[in-house]
Amino acid sequence: MVRFWMLVLGLMAGLSDRAFAQVVPDLTLPVGERSRISGTADTQIDGGAIRGSNLFHSFQQFSIPTGGSASFNNAPNITNIITRVTGSSGSNIDGLIRANGTANLFLINPNGIVFGANARLELGGSFLASTADRLMFDNEFGYSAGDPQAPPLLTISAPIGLQYGGRAGEMRSQGAILQVPTGQTLALVGGNVAIEGGELFAPGGRVELAGIATGEVGLRQQGQDWRLSVPDGLTRADVSIGGDAIVDVSSGGGGSIAITVRNFTGNGLGTGIFAGIAAGLGTVEAQAGDIDINATEVINLDEMQLTNQVAEGGTGNAGNINITTGTLSLTNGVQVFAVTVGQGNAGNITITARDRVSFDGEDSDGVPSGAFNQVAPGAIGQGGNISITTGTLSLTNGAQVAAVTFGQGNAGTIAITARDRMSFDGESSNRVPSRATSQVESGAIGQGGNVSITTGTLIFRNGARASSTTVGEGASGNLTVKATDSIQLVGTTSDGEVPSGLFSSTGGRGSAGNIDIDTKNLIILNGARASSSTTGEGAGGNLTVKVTDSVQLIGTSTGAEAPILGVPAGGQFPSALLAGAGNRGNAGNISIATRNLIVRDGGVVSSGTVGAGAGGDLTINAADSIQVIGVPADGLSLPSLLTAQANASGSAGDITLNTRQLIIGDGGTVTGQQTISRATGSVGNIRITADSLFVGNNASLTVEDRSTVARQRTESVGNIDIQSNSLKVDRGVISAETANTDGGNIGLGVQNILLLRNGGRISTNAGTAEAGGNGGNISINGNFIVAVPEENSNISANAFTGRGGNIRITTRGLFGIEPRSSTTTGLSSITASSQFGISGTITLNQPDVDPNRGLVQLPTELQDTSGLIASTCPADEGNSFAITGRGGIPEDPRQPLMGDSVWLDDRATAQPQSIIPNPTPQIVEAQGWIRDRNGQVTLVAAHPGGMTQPSQSILCSLLKHDR
């Protein structure tokens, strides 16, 4: 029986909680001005202390049960209803709060406030609920819930702040739908604040969510809005939003959201924060408010949306989204989205994170995480800008930063600054790479925005990229990348079809933007690239690389065959710097300034055209060295390559290389080239200035035209001009050859030595397809030209049916190679022949020094000296005969030096001067001898007295012997 009565009493207590409002006045206000309560479930609140337009209430308890209500019966002239709860229990509100007129309602309870799923507001003004200890007024007056004993000095002024003691309670909204009238403020200020489902509406007004632990927060009225002002250094608490909760201030104008916390967490696929111009509302002058989120520590958003927009049918400008924090994390499809779908401009997105920004992944529908600014299809307006500033930034698994226009309006700019490091990595489940991109989409009319990336170390890998593209009417923006330490572009997507890198392109009428790279080290590996291209009518942008230390392009990808503009398919993606034209638009130029450039194992630097547009120029200035070395490991792809190609009707640009040391080796190639048999575009020139140049081990330096279409000389292959201190061609080729037209010209200025070894070849042959064309000309001006006769190294300007070219060589020494009628002798040769035409000319210019001048004809028959030898000369003591060898006669220059060390100084020397040879005196045979005062015998041509002293027989016995 006891248990039965206890159960009944418990049920009655529960019914009582649901049936009766728990609104209990306290006794802290002056007698006659205390709050008065009437009614049960629907409670009416009368009384209170009136000061000017302020009405003060004070309660021991303030809670509203499910379905209940609390109505403040205020006079129409009341502007602010100021309510405190002085007891020790929190407020549980699961019913309706109502007030008369347009009064604002302030409710403070330091013990905490919970809004249930049935909580509603029916107010004409703003609503502010807080777990602060007191409301602050002018003259430092505080209306305190924690210390209500002292008689309050009530004031007629509006509240100016909230003061927190050491016991700030929590604020929770558990599915409540709380709404204030248009233009008013809805503020929930903790302690910790949790929005667990439900909706918070303040159309055209303001929503404030703040977590405050201790200290004083400013409160000011701006128009109809009430705004918090949180001082720097104030101890904050946390705010979270989830459970498909919605915070929305969208309207025909105005509407702002401010979240001020220590940590902010948002999650849930249906959770969202929205501001902007609502559908079908607004005017041309309408301006939406901003979304501001300020967290001193961490913002962690998962799946939810954060949007400021001009909705479809709306008119006016959207507001901005501003995020300030220590660390920002967006995962599983979170989108920070500024967009115009109607008529008006999108706002800006500004993210400032002291330590780190991380965007990762996609939601269940494949929507990527990231920051997006967009002019939607059908919209008329300008896109806003995206700015991100942080310590480190990471975009992974398809996350994006994108400024895009689909409609009529320009895309915004993107500016990303990461103090230490920036990393873009991977792709989404539907193969969309992680990226930062500005785009003008098909059908759009507008300009693309610029993309600027600044950091310490920058990494793009596994297909990730930064890009500026247009396929619409407008030009794309410029892409500027600066890293104080290094930029690394690595690999492709997992299927090998999308390379990592930096891209600027146009597929429409607009021009592509430029790419500017500025760093200490640029490393491009495994098929990644930096590329500026056009496949439309617009021109491609320029690719400018400024690297203080080294540029390295190494290897190829491991995916499927991957043709690139200006370079034929040859296997996988090469690691590359590219500028290409594939239609009517002209390609941009490539300019590289660095200390060292290394292109290895299939790396490519290419400026080319496969369309009607012209290819761009390739200019490289490397203070120390340029190395073009090797072929890919698979042996199938293109070799390491510097090229300017013309594989259609458009002409290729020129290649200019300036460096101290140029090495083209192990199959590497530097070429101006046309590789398509029906192409009609001309190949450009190659100009090289280097202290030393090596072409060897199956490497080549060429301008080449393989087209079989007959054309005028001016429409054909370019020329090669090389200025170097030393040039070595060892199992390599320098050529300007053509298949069916005149060969190009080669000019070599070599201050020291030109060395040809092991079949090394210099050629301007024409008609390599057994067709027409005159051989090109070769001009060589070198100190020494050296080859090994038996190694079949050749200098040739041959033709098939055309005339052979002209070869002009000016040198001080030509060794091991000489003019011949053909290169088929197996010996090192200089040829200017034509198989079915007229041979060209070979001109050798050497200094006017004849080594035979001054020699005389010596007798072939020596005099019989047997009668001149005295038989009376015995071998005696102290006598000797020394053979000193020949002196003054040089060895045959055609013979190799055996056992001698050769020293070659390849430094720049003084300019060569003309030498006038002095006549060599004729050598005269000795006709006599004289003896000087010391007894020395000297052979002479004539006696000093003018008379020839005839030879006399000398008897050894007559000579004096010194003992």
Burial class from Cβ neighbours inside 10 Å (0-12, 13-18, 19+) for residue 377 reads middle
The pLDDT confidence band at residue 78, using thresholds 50, 70 and 90, is very high
What does the alpha-carbon distance between residue 471 and residue 384 come to, in Å, rounded to a whole number? 20
Of the candidates 344, 467, 468, the residue with the CA atom closest to the CA atom of residue 408: 344
702, pLDDT greater than 50: yes
Beta carbons of 395 and 424 less than 8 angstroms apart: yes
Residue 326 has, within 13 A of its CA and on its CB side, a CA count of 7
Q: Please report, to the nearest 10 degrees, the dihedral formed by the alpha carbons of residues 778, 784, 790, 795 taken in order.
A: 0
- Of residues 360 and 934, the one with the higher pLDDT is 360
Q: How far is CA 307 from CA 277, 284, 645, 931, in A?
A: 11, 21, 47, 118
Of the candidates 367, 369, 359, the residue with the CA atom closest to the CA atom of residue 423: 359
955, pLDDT greater than 60: no
Residues paired with 199 in a beta bridge = 177, 246
What does the alpha-carbon distance between residue 544 and residue 516 come to, in Å, rounded to a whole number? 5
186, pLDDT greater than 80: yes
- For residue 138, the 8-state DSSP code is G
Give the pLDDT of residue 595: 99
The pLDDT confidence band at residue 148, using thresholds 50, 70 and 90, is confident
Element (H, E) at 17: helix 2-19
Q: In the predicted model, what is the mean pLDDT of residues 283-289?
A: 97
Residue type, 427: E
Give the pLDDT of residue 714: 45
Give the pLDDT of residue 771: 61
Count of C-beta atoms within a 10 Å radius of residue 268: 17
Residue type, 830: I
Using DSSP, state whether 866 is helix, strand or coil. Answer: helix
Q: In the predicted model, what is the mean pLDDT of residues 638-647?
A: 83
Tokens coding 270: 């249906």
The pLDDT confidence band at residue 165, using thresholds 50, 70 and 90, is confident
What does the alpha-carbon distance between residue 845 and residue 483 come to, in Å, rounded to a whole number? 53
Range with the poorest average pLDDT among 33-37, 324-328, 541-545, 926-930: 926-930
What average pLDDT is seen over the chain? 85
pLDDT digits (tens, 9 = 90+) for 802-844: 888 999 999 999 999 999 888 777 899 999 988 888 889 999 9
Cβ neighbours for 453, distance < 8 A, ≥ 6 positions apart: 416, 417, 422, 436, 466, 480, 481, 482, 483
Q: In the predicted model, what is the mean pLDDT of residues 881-900?
A: 46
Q: Please report, to the nearest 10 degrees, the dihedral formed by the alpha carbons of residues 87, 263, 232, 178 taken in order.
A: -50
660, pLDDT greater than 80: yes
Report the percent of the chain where pLDDT is more than 90: 63
**Domain ranges, ordered by start, for the chain:** 685-850, 928-958
What does the alpha-carbon distance between residue 764 and residue 702 come to, in Å, rounded to a whole number? 10
The pLDDT confidence band at residue 883, using thresholds 50, 70 and 90, is very low
Whether pTM exceeds 0.75: yes
Tokens coding 938: 């000297």
879, pLDDT greater than 60: no
Compute CA 289 distance to the chain's CA centroid, rounded to the nearest angstrom: 34
Beta carbons of 672 and 706 less than 8 angstroms apart: no
Element (H, E) at 323: strand 321-331
Of the candidates 475, 463, 322, the residue with the CA atom closest to the CA atom of residue 411: 475
Helix, strand, coil percentages, rounded to 5, for the chain: 5, 50, 50
534, pLDDT greater than 50: yes
> Which is it for strands 134-136 and 142-144: parallel, antiparallel or unpaired?
antiparallel
215, pLDDT greater than 80: yes
Beta carbons of 122 and 157 less than 8 angstroms apart: no
Element (H, E) at 7: helix 2-19
The pLDDT confidence band at residue 958, using thresholds 50, 70 and 90, is very low
Give the pLDDT of residue 933: 66
Give the pLDDT of residue 562: 47
The pLDDT confidence band at residue 889, using thresholds 50, 70 and 90, is very low
Range with the poorest average pLDDT among 191-200, 289-298, 815-824, 954-963: 954-963
Q: In the predicted model, what is the mean pLDDT of residues 676-699?
A: 83
Give the pLDDT of residue 557: 87
Give the pLDDT of residue 906: 42
* Phi and psi based region of residue 643 (left: phi greater than 0; alpha: psi -120 to 50; beta: remaining): beta
Give the pLDDT of residue 767: 73
Cβ neighbours for 433, distance < 8 A, ≥ 6 positions apart: 398, 424, 426, 427, 462, 463, 464, 465, 493, 498, 500
Phi, psi of 866 (to 5 degrees): -65, -30
- Of residues 836 and 601, the one with the higher pLDDT is 601
pLDDT digits (tens, 9 = 90+) for 299-348: 999 999 999 999 999 999 999 999 999 999 999 999 999 999 999 999 99
Q: How far is CA 238 from CA 194, 293, 322, 952, in A?
A: 8, 12, 18, 128
pLDDT digits (tens, 9 = 90+) for 400-425: 999 999 999 999 999 999 999 999 99
3-state per-residue secondary structure call for 179-240: ECCCCCEEEEEECCEEEECCEEECCCCEEEEEEECCEEEEEEEECCEEEEECCCCCCECCEE
- For residue 9, the 8-state DSSP code is H
Burial class from Cβ neighbours inside 10 Å (0-12, 13-18, 19+) for residue 115 reads buried
What does the alpha-carbon distance between residue 588 and residue 949 come to, in Å, rounded to a whole number? 88
pLDDT digits (tens, 9 = 90+) for 442-477: 999 999 999 999 999 999 999 999 999 988 888 889
Using DSSP, state whether 4 is helix, strand or coil. Answer: helix
What does the alpha-carbon distance between residue 588 and residue 581 come to, in Å, rounded to a whole number? 8
924, pLDDT greater than 70: no
870, pLDDT greater than 80: no
Give the pLDDT of residue 141: 84
3-state per-residue secondary structure call for 499-552: ECEEEEEECCCCCCCCEEEEEEEEEEECCCEEEEEECCCCCCCCEEEEEEEEEE
What does the alpha-carbon distance between residue 268 and residue 470 come to, in Å, rounded to a whole number? 35
857, pLDDT greater than 70: no
Using DSSP, state whether 831 is helix, strand or coil. Answer: strand
Beta carbons of 528 and 555 less than 8 angstroms apart: no
Tally DSSP H helices, then E strands, for the chain. Answer: 1, 68
Give the pLDDT of residue 863: 54
3-state per-residue secondary structure call for 766-817: CCCCCCCCCCCCEEEEEEEEEECHHHCCEEECCECCCCCCCEEEEEEEEECC
- For residue 648, the 8-state DSSP code is S
Place of tokens 């939810």: 304
Of the candidates 275, 274, 343, 330, the residue with the CA atom closest to the CA atom of residue 303: 330
Count of C-beta atoms within a 10 Å radius of residue 583: 22
32-39, Cβ contacts within 8 angstroms, sequence gap of 24 or more: 34/58, 35/59
Q: In the predicted model, what is the mean pLDDT of residues 791-797?
A: 94
